[in-house]
Amino acid sequence: MSAVEDGFDAQVDLTADFVRFPSTRGNEATAQDFMAAQMRARGWDVDRFRIDLDAIRHLPGFSPVHVSYDDAWNVVGTYRAPRPEGRSLILNGHIDVVPPGPAGMWTHPAFHPHRSDGWLYGRGAGDMKAGLIACLAALDAIHRAGFQPAADVIVQSVVEEECTGNGALACLAKGYRADAVLIPEPLHECLIRAQIGVIWFRIELQGLPVHVAQAGKGANAIIAAYKVIEALGALETKWNVAKSEDRHYKDVAHPINLNIGKIEGGDWASSVPAWCAFDARISILPGQDLNDAKSEIERIVAEAARDVPFLVNNPPEVIFNGFEAEGYVLKDAEVPVTALAQAHRTVSGHDLNEVASTATTDARFFGLYGKMPALVYGPAAEHVHGFDERVNLASLRNVTKAMTLFIADWCGLHSKNG
Ligand code: ZN
């Protein structure tokens, strides 16, 4: 713990350096180069590879994409124990961040990290560059204390977590395996016991364009979109009712959230709009069948369109273009959970709280498709996906200590000189 303390200022500086990269989707490559250099400097084997769609599109958990992966690089650094004896570990984090939104809403520019009052500000500071750098810092602390892990530790810096999860899936497809996985997402020092699934879709509607002077003869695609959005809202309400049957979500106020995240349409204020398109996200409970949910979305949209005369013969198109994520419940993981809970208690003096998350994480790939227990546990952060995103440094310090103790316990330790 004192070795974490000794390295903490350098850890925060490195996190800030990392936040400076505007690693939004499609723009992660330079941040990944930086990460690869950090790993090489620690003497690990570095595997820097592009996501190969052909290697993953047939796999369970794959999410469809309509963007290029020409510049979508994963970086995996492996510390190989000279005499492996303990249990191996994957530390995983995502490098991609969501767009900052309107610059004017940020007190300081989103990619100019700023430290004040015990917080580090910047897009991605919380979600989840602090966690990703904590993986390096925890291993540095073990080294600084004169030890090395007695089992292999694989650190994965992946892309595509915020939209598909295909980065983590590509790591799985390449064969990376370990006895447990830890993902330091910003979880307020809680453990995720259950996470919902997520579906992304885009709805494209057509209209009949006429001069507004004859608006009654046209069909307004934007107004029609309202009808469809209303119907999707009713679907959200219906799926939330099912929470009463779910042991992890029955006490969560509103686990299923529909978000209309983007909308565009029309060409001219005096022309009845010929088109409207919007992008949406909805969630599903663990155990809710993903394909059934997709069919239900299609059916709800088709039904709503039946109330709009023009759409009867011109039905809206539903395009699934991102997350097709199943829910995940952490099961059969008593040994790693107990080890993490012990580490957390040693550092904080409190029991480890467990939560049912209303967001998804990459844990599902390891847990559902790789049969590796995947623990999600990380520092307190605020305003992630909002503005003035920030990570709490006292919390980051505690989490880094807990991660270090967990690695020491899980992997075991050898002295640095063998
Ligand atoms: Zn995240």
pLDDT tops 90 at residue 298: yes
Residue 146 alpha carbon to ligand 1 centre in Å: 32
Closest CA to 95 of 163, 187, 194, 153: 163
Q: Give me the sheet containing 328-329, strands edge to edge.
A: 328-329, 191-195, 354-357
Share of the chain above pLDDT 90, in %: 98
Average pLDDT, integer, range 183-200: 98
**DSSP output for 207-231:** -B--BGGGGGGSB-HHHHHHHHHHH
**Is 2-195+328-415 CATH 3.40.50.300?**
no
Q: Grade residue 199 by pLDDT with cuts at 50, 70 and 90.
A: very high
CA of 33 to the centre of ligand 1 (A): 20
- Residues 6+ positions from 392 with CB-CB distance below 8 Å: 118, 119, 379, 380, 381, 382
Question: Per-residue pLDDT tens for 94-105?
Answer: 999 999 999 999
Q: How far, in Å, is the centroid of ligand 1 from the Cα of 95?
A: 9
87 C-alpha vs ligand 1 centroid, how far in Å? Answer: 26
Q: Does the structure show a pLDDT above 70 at 307?
A: yes
Interval between CA 210 and ligand 1 midpoint (Å): 45
Task: Tell how far the Cα of 137 is from the centroid of ligand 1, in angstroms.
Answer: 19
Ligand 1 midpoint to CA 359 (Å): 9
Distance 12 CA to ligand 1 centre (A): 18
Q: Taking 80 as the threshold, does the pLDDT of residue 389 lie above it?
A: yes
User: Separation of 312 CA from ligand 1 center, angstroms?
Assistant: 40
Q: What is the pTM of this model?
A: 0.96
> Mean pLDDT throughout 103-129?
98
How many residues are given for the chain? 418
Tell me the CA–centroid distance for residue 99 and ligand 1, in Å: 13
The residue ranges of every structural domain in the chain are 2-195+328-415, 197-325
Q: How many CB atoms lie within 10 A of CB 22?
A: 17
Long-range pairs, 305-313, Cβ under 8 A, ≥24: 305/224, 305/227, 305/228, 307/227, 308/219, 308/224, 308/227, 309/219, 310/206, 310/207, 310/208, 310/219, 310/224, 311/205, 311/206, 311/219, 311/224
- Mean of pLDDT over the chain: 97
Instruction: Identify the pLDDT of residue 416.
Output: 87
CA of 147 to the centre of ligand 1 (A): 30
2-195+328-415 and 197-325 agree in CATH topology: no
CA of 338 to the centre of ligand 1 (A): 24
Determine the distance separating the centroid of ligand 1 and the alpha carbon of 364, expressed in angstroms: 13
Task: Work out the average pLDDT over 399-415.
Answer: 98
Which position has the token pair 């983590």?
Answer: 168
CA–centroid distance, residue 383 to ligand 1 (Å): 12
- CA–centroid distance, 362 to ligand 1, in Å, is 9
Distance 198 CA to ligand 1 centre (A): 14
Q: With beta carbons less than 8 A apart as the criterion, state whether 139 and 71 touch.
A: no
Residues with Cβ < 8 Å from 382, sequence gap 6 or more?
126, 389, 390, 392
Q: How far is the CA of 94 from the centre of ligand 1 (A)?
A: 7
Give the three-state DSSP class for 96.
Answer: coil
Question: Residue 162 C-alpha to ligand 1 middle, in angstroms?
Answer: 7
The alpha carbon of 303 and the centre of ligand 1 are apart by a number of angstroms equal to 35
CA 320 – ligand 1 centroid, Å? 21
Query: In this predicted structure, what is the pLDDT of residue 87?
Result: 98
Tokens read off for 153? 């530790």
Maximal C-alpha separation, the chain: 84
CA of 183 to the centre of ligand 1 (A): 9
What is the average per-residue pLDDT within 9-19? 98
Provide the pLDDT confidence category of residue 418 given band limits of 50, 70 and 90: low
> How far, in Å, from the CA of 309 to the mean position of ligand 1?
42
The alpha carbon of 360 and the centre of ligand 1 are apart by a number of angstroms equal to 9
Within 10 angstroms of residue 83's Cβ, the number of other Cβ atoms is 9
Query: Distance from the CA of 83 to the center of ligand 1, in angstroms?
Result: 34
* Cα 128 to ligand 1 centroid, rounded to whole Å: 5
Question: What is the 185 CA–ligand 1 centroid distance (Å)?
Answer: 5
Distance 311 CA to ligand 1 centre (A): 38
User: What percentage of the chain reaches a pLDDT higher than 70?
Assistant: 100
How many angstroms is it from 381 CA to the middle of ligand 1?
11
State mean pLDDT over 258-265: 98
Best CATH choice for the domain 197-325 from the list 3.30.70.360, 3.40.640.10, 1.10.3720.10, 3.90.440.10: 3.30.70.360
pLDDT digits (tens, 9 = 90+) for 130-152: 999 999 999 999 999 999 999 99
Structure confidence at residue 13 as a pLDDT band (50, 70, 90): very high
Indicate the pLDDT class of residue 215, thresholds 50, 70 and 90.
confident
For residue 153, pLDDT over 70 is answered with yes
